[in-house]
Amino acid sequence: MRTKPFALLRTKLHQPRLSPDLVPRPHLIEYLNHNPHRPLTLIVAPAGFGKTTLAVEWLQSRTQPVAWLSLDQGDDELRHFLRYVLAALQTIFPDSMSDSLSLLQGLELPPVDYLRTIFINELAAAAQNFTLVLDDLYLVQTPSIYQFLEKVIDYLPEQAHLVLISRLDPPLPLARLRARGQMTDVRTGDLRFRPTEIAAFLEQTVGRERLPAEGIAAVVEQTEGWAAGVRLASLSLRRPSPPTGAMRADQYAMSYLLDEVLLQQPAPIRAFLLQTAILDRFCKSLCEVILHRNAAEQGSGDPHTPTSSQAIIAYLDQANLFVVPLDDEQQWYRYHHLFQESLKHRLQAEYSPTDIAALHRRASHWLAEQGYIEEAIDHALAAGETEQAARLVEQHRHTLLNYEEMATLSRWLAKLPEALLEQRPALLLARIWVTKLRYGAPAIIDLIAPVEALLQAQPQTVEHEPLWGELYTLQSESSYFQSDGQQSIRLGRQALDLLPPHQAFIRGTAMMFWAGGHRLVGQGDVAEQLLTEVLQQAPQQQPPVYTLRLYTALNTFYLIRANFHRLIQTATQQIKLAEKAKLVTQVSWANHYCGHAHYELNKLTAAAHYYLALAQHPFRVIHTGFNVAPYTLALTYQAQGYPDRATQSFDRLADMIPHQPLTLLAERLQVRLALLRGDAAAARQIALPLTFDPEREELMNSIDSPGRILAKLWLAQRTEASLRKAADLLEQLLELAEAQHNIWRKIEILAMQALVRDAQGERDKALETLTEAVTLARPGGVIRTFVDLGPHLVPLIVALAERGVAPNYSKQLVDVFETVPVGVAPPLPHRGNGVKVSPPGPPQGGE
């Protein structure tokens, strides 16, 4: 069967049903209903006191919808926890929580405050009152989960109510919540059965005729109102010869549980209980595999004793023997946690480690066949089958890549021993993809060699060809970012020859850098044709990530070629496809490109729309270093004449994530904003840490590189020394841009060279240089690259128009200069031939 990228266990979202022999507890229901406006209800007691039963009884007496989540130990990680919380909420509000869910798809989670803000805002959009229940909360202990819950409780919207059920007090400020009247709590003393309730239950389950008064009194005394003990007593009293001994009345009554319930069961049922205790949930088919019995064995023995798994499950359910149905169809069940713990203790006492490992092994195989891969991995590891666990990750990692489930892949890899990872090239490759998408391409250079060494040491078989193809893909990408186009082409072609169709993410990546290599060697037209043809021929049955990565490649091509009209068309198509496929990283890429295209065309309102979509969800993007939405949004606000908004965007970037790449971006943005505001002195002070390194210059990046920032700074100072520095630096930058066939950056560099030469008194050379820039820029409609360099360009552009160089385009540029808002740039100089530039006007709707 096809593996889902992240298989939610829907049974965890099912509200437990009430037992037919329920004893109503109206006094507790009344207590819970007494303060309906309190945001939190906390039910805390040891195991077996009826916490969940009370919650279900109470909630069924109310009319509002309930989102239920039964937690387990696998949820003890913030991302995993939130995925299930959101899934629970979507059971009552199917179209809700999309923004919160999208935040979980990135490799790095946003800060807890950010997660809480988005989560609360989406809860506040609910059209009716509702309750969210988190059962078995004690099973999660990660501090960030409780930090999140604390902040949610403090700001929970009025239509929401939170119920927490736990064996232990959660690490929340309970005293403060209680003092402020924000919490209703139910404790062990509240949950103890009253003598009248115990009597009613025993009469219902055992029968009045078999219950002498002293028998009821004994149960009351010995159980002390412990619900599990009362039920155990009823099971025991139903036997022909009820026991007369005393019974311990706490959650540690293991001896009683086993002796009075387990040991009295027929052998088939007893074996079933012990062997299936390893399962956190079970169904008929899974149990049959675990027990490993054939039809003949199932039909042997006492004809009145159920032997098939289906019959035993039905018997346990009917006898209320501590099984909990997990769905309305009664296909999936789990044991009461206390009972399961008891069974596991007995299993370890009666079965050898080898036999228990065999149970886990069989469970792993069945779960893997059904597509429950993470559970299968866990059981394989519990069986000591680390090789099998590794094979499961290897077999299903491409599905995760195809659906951009990088966080899930990272979690699977973290389950495996490090020594095992280092021996298996497929697992090392998986970790490289995770690392690359978290930290960017430069972070993986040193990780590739060990994989190549492992592959070279293995027999060169057909089975290993896809691994070589994957390695060649990574090497092709690395070559591309080192500006080695020929190597990128060669390795990309080799990769495509070896990669199978189902590895859509990797094939799309190989195609990206094969085509990108062609652009680096000056075959841009070939690259465009290749990508366009492949997009037209892409099979419909391919996972959409393949087509989307081709769009990313084509968009990068149009961006670097400064073809912004075409870029808008393809990026818009990418947005539609990515939104349909619910691949939010690809949506972010497309918004990124649409923003740049509209900004360059001076369609600032549209640019702000796309940048804002990124800035509002900054953690959807591929890796931290790429998260530059506040940077580009700040420049857009500045261009629109909203310097305060630009400053706010800078503050957002500076505070968003305490990682060095973003810190460096914040410094660059400060310099740019200072220059755009005409404050060269402030820009010079901020730029002191900036240095130019030709080997690390990011010309292909969509934001300001250090070299270009320094060139603008020295140009703005307009001293003889600074102009000389700018001229030398721009020569180096131009050489880099031409080597990379980067037309977009070449236009900007040429325009800056023209300004330097004009400031040095070389007007003719300046016009010659600017002519080349305008000739390259006009087909793509480039505007902001020129306007952002400041009004000193205007006399040069006017002079070009007078010489007949692109007169209509030159006039368009000058018209935009005239609309630069007041206070955003220095006053404009005079045009040539005595024609004075009109004073700057107000913002023109951002366009």
Q: Can you spell out the DSSP letters for 286-329?
A: HHHHHHT--HHHHT-S-TTS--SHHHHHHHHHHTT-SEEE-STT
3-state secondary structure of 44: strand
As a whole number, the mean pLDDT across the chain is: 86
Q: List, for residues 437-474, the tens digit of each pLDDT value.
A: 877 777 788 899 999 999 999 888 888 999 999 999 99
* pLDDT, greater one: 603 or 681: 603
And the tokens for 461? 């078989």
Q: For residue 491, what are its two tokens?
A: 């390795």
More confident residue, 783 or 611: 783
Domain with CATH 1.25.40 in the chain: 682-834
* CATH of the structural domain 267-351, one choice from 1.10.287, 1.10.10, 1.10.3470, 2.40.360: 1.10.10
Under the banding of pLDDT at 50, 70 and 90, the label for residue 841 is: very low
For position 171, what pLDDT does the model report?
Answer: 95
Assign domain 682-834 one CATH number from 1.10.3470, 1.25.40, 1.10.10, 3.30.70: 1.25.40
Question: Is pLDDT above 70 for 584?
Answer: yes
Among positive and negative, which fits the CA dihedral 532, 537, 543, 546?
negative
768/667: higher pLDDT: 768
**Are the C-beta atoms of 226 and 49 separated by less than 8 Å?**
yes
What pLDDT, on the 0 to 100 scale, is given for residue 104? 85
What CA–CA distance (Å, rounded) separates 18 from 60?
A: 10
Does residue 206 surpass a pLDDT of 80?
A: no
Annotate 192-204 with b (16+ C-beta within 10 A) or e (fewer): bbeeebbbbbbee
247: confidence class by pLDDT, cuts 50, 70, 90: very low
Q: What is the token pair recorded at 215?
A: 């028998």
Q: Residue 589: pLDDT above 70?
A: yes
Percentage above 70 pLDDT, the chain = 87
Q: Using a pLDDT cut of 90, give the percent of the chain over it.
A: 57
Q: Per residue in 134-192, pLDDT tens?
A: 999 999 999 999 999 999 999 999 999 999 999 999 999 999 999 999 999 999 999 99
Q: Are 47 and 337 in contact (CB under 8 A)?
A: yes
Whether pLDDT at 385 is above 90: yes
Q: Is the pLDDT of residue 4 over 70?
A: no
pLDDT score for 839: 32
Phi, psi at 141, each rounded to 5°: -130, -5
Which part of the chain has CATH 3.40.50.300?
10-191
Which of 82-91, 627-636, 717-726 shows the lowest per-residue confidence on average (mean pLDDT)?
A: 627-636
Torsion sign (Cα): 408, 409, 414, 415 = positive
In the CATH hierarchy, which top-level class contains the domain 10-191?
Answer: alpha beta
What integer pLDDT is reported at residue 238 of this predicted model? 64
Distance CA 707, CA 687 (A): 11
Residue with the larger pLDDT of the pair 28 and 266: 28
Between 609 and 308, where is the model more confident?
Answer: 609
Q: Residue 663's pLDDT is what?
A: 60
Residue 250 confidence (pLDDT): 44
Per-residue pLDDT for 19 more than 50? yes
In 538-659, alpha helices (H): 544-560, 564-581, 584-600, 604-616, 629-640, 643-656
pLDDT at 627: 60
**What is the pLDDT confidence band of residue 294, given thresholds at 50, 70 and 90?**
very low
Rounded distance between C-alpha atoms, residue 105 and residue 41, angstroms = 31
**What's the pLDDT band for 628 if we cut at 50, 70, 90?**
confident
**Tokens 């919490």 -> residue:** 183
The model's pLDDT over 533-582, given as tens digits with 9 standing for 90+, comes to: 888 887 777 889 999 999 999 999 999 999 999 999 999 999 999 999 88
How far is Cα 98 from Cα 93, in angstroms, rounded to an integer? 11
Q: Where in the chain is the domain with CATH 1.10.10?
A: 267-351
> Where is 457: in which H helix or E strand?
helix 445-457
